[in-house]
Amino acid sequence: MDDLDRRLINRLQLGLPLVRHPWQVLADELQSSARELLDRVHNLLEDGVLTRFGPMFDIERLGGAFTLAALSVPEVHFDEVAGQLHALPEVAHNYRREHPWNMWFVLGCASEQDLSDTLQRIETLTGLPVLNLPKEETYHVGLYFPV
């Protein structure tokens, strides 16, 4: 990672400009070209330096529903259940925790009914009860990690 990569990552954490050609605006700011910046983002993703690059949506404002949920998965079945969840398009991501509820995941669905149906489908698919932890309140915390 060179200086331009660092400056690009730092700038992208502040968001893309909401203009017709955002990459050109960034290129002007960073004394580069739009093509160079896009290539660098792709390379950073391919190399695993960045794990995700994309928009953050407020799914509830768009009419959808989401929740944080957890399963208590026996260790011998952990990888199998992780694969089952990974195959579901409603599962945004899942991860291991050192806790009796050792598999946590986020569901995003088109409606509350779809969310309820998906939670039931996961219970049926895995044979495990799902701990549903819906959001009670929204907090917006601006995170910035300079590199």
Burial class of residue 137, CB neighbours in 10 A (0-12, 13-18, 19+): exposed
Q: What is the pLDDT of residue 142?
A: 78
Alpha-carbon span 23 to 8, nearest angstrom: 11
- Domain assignment of residue 105, yes or no: yes
Q: Provide the pLDDT confidence category of residue 52 given band limits of 50, 70 and 90.
A: confident
Mark whether 82 and 29 lie in a shared domain: no
Could you tell me the pTM of the whole model? 0.67
Checking if the pLDDT of 72 tops 80, the result is yes
Burial class of residue 18, CB neighbours in 10 A (0-12, 13-18, 19+): exposed
Q: Provide the pLDDT confidence category of residue 37 given band limits of 50, 70 and 90.
A: very high
What percentage of the chain carries pLDDT values higher than 70?
A: 100
> Within 13 Å of residue 42, how many CA atoms lie on the same side as its CB?
6
Q: What is the pLDDT of residue 137?
A: 85
Checking if the pLDDT of 132 tops 80, the result is yes
Mark whether 107 and 79 lie in a shared domain: yes
Mark whether 38 and 79 lie in a shared domain: no
Contact 8, 37 (CB under 8 A): yes
- Domain assignment of residue 116, yes or no: yes
Q: What is the pLDDT of residue 67?
A: 95
Checking if the pLDDT of 59 tops 80, the result is no
Mark whether 78 and 123 lie in a shared domain: yes
Across residues 127-142, what is the average pLDDT?
89
Q: Which residues span the domain enclosing 105? A: 65-133
